[in-house]
Structure formats: structure tokens, C-alpha cells
């Protein structure tokens, strides 16, 4: 039984645009901040994993502000801040545990690989997202969406051609290969999490509105943070933070600024991904992430002097082509839907003829 949604079409389009922006900022900014931490003396994998969801109180603040604003404007004093039922809390907790594991795999990869290499490996999540979306939520594909997936996947494959020259200086081949494998595992797991989140919305058995989506994201982040907190305690990361800050290449103040920035950018990413799934689909979320790959590549070149090769230029063209293909297909589908009346809209004589 699919859940009902309680958002008007115009509001949904606005939310989709806002969440696409949040997703873009978080997706491009977060890996740059994480890599900045590692190349300047940071070494804590569990700390980096923890930061990816530790900003969950930000969502709580947004929820409380939204609650009081709605109560003041509507005069509804019976509304509650939290509306999640136990079934949805359990599902969100499971998503959070999976996200915590994915965060560790991703942080390990970013610690070992250049941003450009890690980004191209992560872009392979689109293939996993498409496959799991088909299995879990019965995602329907048209020729345009299939074309987009193929083009974006080829773009990622083209970028993979230059990875041999990207091994950081002083890093062993074993560490590099392990980082590559861990990043690929992160891509596969994230490709599973996105459709699973969409299925959670569908099976919630309660009205899904955007505040409830934020509640789901908050519980998800809280659960992931707990998992990573256990890892930090075992690895003694909390006691090592002050020592690492004193020895950080860019200085103690910038060390803490990087940590806070990573946490906030990650929250933009998480809110954006959940919002895009709510407003559209997990497939669109995966496609946007793949399209942003060349942007991340360019930023890595600008900030970390990583080489911009011909392969990256080809990938940029293929990614933009795939992005245009997907949205052209969506526009055609919307026009077809609008021009095709339902049976209740047809005149009686046409219904009888049918």
C-alpha cells in the first residue's frame, strides 16, 4: 500500500529546485572539505565518517522553526513537532545504520584517493541505483532515461582511464587499491540506499509531507551518527581531536572550521537527496549526482591542482548530454500525460465505444 503525499504540484516543483540546489552544494563541497582535511595532516577515518551525519541537530532546528511558523499562520494548536509512527522510525533507523556503514567506506576512499578519482568511482552508483530502483520500487524506464544512464555510466568509465597516474605520492599500491575497492563498495551501498529510501516513503502507511521527510532524514542521521560514535570510541578518536588540531598543517582554527564545514555541507547533501527522492525519484537523485561529477572534477583541479585531462573533458560532455536526455524525456512524458485524458474525463459515447 503506497502512502499519500500532501504537497501541491507547484510546491513540489519549488521543493525539487531547492533540494537540487542543496544536493549540488553538498555533493560538490563535502568531498573537497574531506580531502582538505586528509592532505593537511588529518588521519581519522571514523571522525570523517561521523562528520557526514553529525550535523543532524540542524534538521531538528529547521523542524522546530517550521512547526511554530505553521502553528502561527494556521492557528492549528493540535499539531505535533514529530509525527513519525513506530514503523517509519524503525525503517529510518535501518537506513541510518546502512548510511553509517556507507559513510565509513566513503571516508576511507577519500582518505586514500584524489578527489577526482574518488568522484569518478562514486559516480558508478548510478548503475547500482538504476538496478535497485527497478527491483525495489519498480522504476519505469523510457528510452530517454536509459540513454541518460548509459551516457553517464560511459562518462564515468572514460574518467577511469586516467586513474593509474593519480596515485598520491608516498602512498603504497596496496593502500591505493584498497581505497579504490572501499569507494566502489560505498557507491554500491549508496546505490541501494537511495531506492530503499524511496520504498520507505511508499510503504510508510501515513501521509508523507516535506516535514515528515525531514523527520526521516533526522532519524537516519542520528542512527548513522550513533554507529560512527561507537567506531570513534573504539578508535579513541575523541581524545585525539585536540592533538590532531594542534599539529594540523593549516592551523588549529582552520582545522575546526573544516570539520564544521564538512558536517554542514553533508547535511545539505542528505536533505537534498531525500528531498529529490520525495519530489521525483531515487533515479533522478542518482542522475543529478552523476551529472555533478565533472563539476567536482573541475573544482578538484582548481583547489588541489589535480590534472584536467582530455578524459575529463569527454566525461563532461557525456554527462551534460545524459542530463539533457533525461529531462527531455521527462518533459515529453509530462506533455503526453497532460494530453491524454483519463476515462472519467471522456464523453459518455466515447466510453461506450471503447
Whether 3 is in a domain gets the answer no
- Can you give the residue range of the structural domain that contains 165? 9-353
Whether 261 is in a domain gets the answer yes
Quick one: the chain helix, strand, coil %, rounded to 5? 80, 0, 20
The predicted pLDDT at position 166 comes to 60
The predicted pLDDT at position 192 comes to 93
Residue 77 neighbours by CB under 8 Å, 6+ apart: 71
- What average pLDDT does this structure show over 223-252? 94
Whether 2 is in a domain gets the answer no
344: pLDDT strictly greater than 50: no
Residues 231, 237: Cα–Cα separation, whole Å: 8
Mean pLDDT of the chain: 82
- What average pLDDT does this structure show over 284-295? 79
- What average pLDDT does this structure show over 303-329? 74
Residues 323, 304: Cα–Cα separation, whole Å: 27
Whether 1 is in a domain gets the answer no
162: pLDDT strictly greater than 50: yes
The predicted pLDDT at position 147 comes to 81
The predicted pLDDT at position 7 comes to 62
95: pLDDT strictly greater than 80: yes
243: pLDDT strictly greater than 50: yes
Whether 4 is in a domain gets the answer no
What's the pTM?
A: 0.81
Q: For the chain, what is the domain count?
A: 1
Whether 78 is in a domain gets the answer yes
Whether 55 is in a domain gets the answer yes
The predicted pLDDT at position 332 comes to 74
Whether 212 is in a domain gets the answer yes
Amino acid at each position: 500500500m503506497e502512502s499519500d503525499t500532501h504537497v501541491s504540484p507547484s510546491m513540489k516543483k519549488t521543493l525539487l529546485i531547492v533540494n537540487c540546489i542543496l544536493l549540488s552544494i553538498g555533493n560538490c563541497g563535502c568531498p573537497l572539505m574531506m580531502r582538505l582535511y586528509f592532505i593537511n595532516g588529518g588521519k581519522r577515518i571514523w571522525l570523517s565518517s561521523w562528520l557526514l551525519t553529525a550535523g543532524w541537530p540542524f534538521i531538528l532546528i529547521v523542524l522546530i522553526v517550521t512547526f511554530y511558523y505553521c502553528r502561527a499562520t494556521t492557528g492549528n494548536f493540535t499539531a505535533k513537532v514529530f509525527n513519525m509512527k513506530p514503523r517509519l522510525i524503525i525503517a529510518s533507523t535501518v537506513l541510518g545504520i546502512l548510511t553509517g556503514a556507507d559513510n565509513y567506506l566513503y571516508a576511507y576512499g577519500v582518505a586514500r584517493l584524489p578527489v577526482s578519482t574518488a568522484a569518478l568511482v562514486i559516480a558508478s552508483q548510478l548503475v547500482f541505483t538504476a538496478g535497485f530502483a527497478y527491483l525495489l520500487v519498480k522504476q519505469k524506464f523510457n528510452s530517454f532515461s536509459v540513454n541518460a544512464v548509459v551516457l553517464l555510466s560511459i562518462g564515468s568509465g572514460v574518467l577511469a582511464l586516467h586513474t593509474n597516474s593519480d596515485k598520491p605520492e608516498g602512498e603504497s599500491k596496496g593502500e591505493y587499491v584498497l581505497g579504490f575497492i572501499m569507494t566502489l563498495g560505498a557507491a554500491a551501498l549508496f546505490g541501494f540506499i537511495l531506492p530503499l529510501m524511496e520504498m520507505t516513503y511508499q510503504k510508510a502507511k501515513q501521509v508523507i509531507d516535506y516535514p515528515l521527510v525531514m523527520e526521516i532524514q533526522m532519524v537516519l542521521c542520528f542512527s548513522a551518527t550513533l554507529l560512527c560514535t561507537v567506531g570513534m570510541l573504539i578508535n579513541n578518536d575523541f581524545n585525539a581531536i585536540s592533538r590532531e588540531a594542534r599539529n594540523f598543517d593549516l592551523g588549529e582554527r582552520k582545522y575546526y572550521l573544516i570539520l564544521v564545514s564538512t558536517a554542514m555541507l553533508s547535511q545539505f547533501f542528505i536533505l537534498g537527496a531525500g528531498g529529490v527522492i520525495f519530489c521525483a525519484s531515487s533515479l533522478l537523485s542518482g542522475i543529478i549526482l552523476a551529472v555533478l561529477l565533472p563539476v567536482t572534477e573541475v573544482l578538484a583541479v582548481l583547489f588541489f591542482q589535480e590534472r584536467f585531462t582530455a578524459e575529463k573533458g569527454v566525461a563532461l560532455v557525456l554527462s551534460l548530454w545524459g542530463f539533457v536526455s533525461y529531462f527531455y524525456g521527462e518533459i515529453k512524458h509530462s506533455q503526453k500525460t497532460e494530453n491524454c485524458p483519463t476515462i472519467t474525463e471522456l464523453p459518455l459515447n466515447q466510453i461506450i465505444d471503447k
